[in-house]
Amino acid sequence: MKSYVFLLMALTGVFGFSQQDDTEKSELYKNYREDQFYAAVTYNLLSEKPNDVTQSGFSSGFHFGFIRDMPINKDRDFAIGLGLGLSANSYNQKNMLLEETDRNIQFHIIDEGDYNVSKNKFTTYVLEMPLEIRWRTSTAASYNFWRIYTGFKVGYVFYNSTKFLSEAGNQRLSNIDSFNRFQYGLTLSAGYNTWNFHVYYGLNPIFDAKTQSDNKSVDMKSIKIGLMFYIL
């Protein structure tokens, strides 16, 4: 009889602990979200440039923001992310002079030897809204895991500037109407733990259709390649 009582108590204890573990795990996973703050550093390229235009130096991009992680499965390793962030992007080039005409920009290809250019770039400051589909191998108790996040990003250019410094003269412009206010493109972030490869492929031109070079519209788009860091 005593053996039956002991067995019953043992089974009750095991079941009780198991139920407690399941309850704790359920509570742990209930509010589990991943990678909601981000920061990125990118190298910015220009695609579909006018003929003879060459980039120079390091064209940098700095990005940071918050993404609301919304898991859509029981294990919470598959999610949708919607966020808001800020981005500062510079684009350096050697032989492209941007001149203002009635608040619009005209491009001119120059001879570097005639100007001896020391600085030639334009910069955009963007309010961004990323939308992502997120897959990761994480758990609520694991901080080292693989991730693949792909999606779409829409940005609003709230400020822009250009800087041209040379021995022949200097020119600084700001908040030019020729920049497309809305920028959008495809994104991909993939990696393990802290280090993640990131790429943005712009789908629409940086400048509007009125911006021309040799009577042709300038359809340059942005490609950003770099590293993404997820903080929390």
Domain spans of the chain, in order of start: 1-30, 34-230
Task: List, edge to edge, every strand of the sheet that includes 96-101.
Answer: 96-101, 104-109, 212-213, 216-217
What is the reported pLDDT for 11?
41
Q: Which helix (H) or strand (E) holds 26?
A: helix 2-30
CB 63, CB 38: distance < 8 Å:
yes
Q: Please, which residues have CB within 8 angstroms of residue 68's CB and are 6 or more apart in sequence?
A: 36, 81, 82, 83
* CATH topology assigned to domain 34-230: Porin (2.40.160)
> In which band, very low, low, confident or very high, does the pLDDT at 212 lie, cut at 50, 70 and 90?
low
pLDDT digits (tens, 9 = 90+) for 97-115: 877 776 667 777 777 667 7
Q: How far apart are CA 191 and CA 86, in angstroms?
A: 22
Q: Which of 179, 184, 131 is nearest to 159 (CA)?
A: 179
What is the model's pLDDT at position 149? 96
Record the pTM: 0.82
pLDDT of residue 28: 52
The Cα 200–Cα 122 span in angstroms is 19
pLDDT, tens digit, 9 for 90 and up, residues 111-164:
766 778 888 889 999 999 999 999 999 877 777 889 999 999 999 999 999 898
Q: Which token pair is 185?
A: 């493109």
CA–CA dist 130, 68 (Å, integer): 10
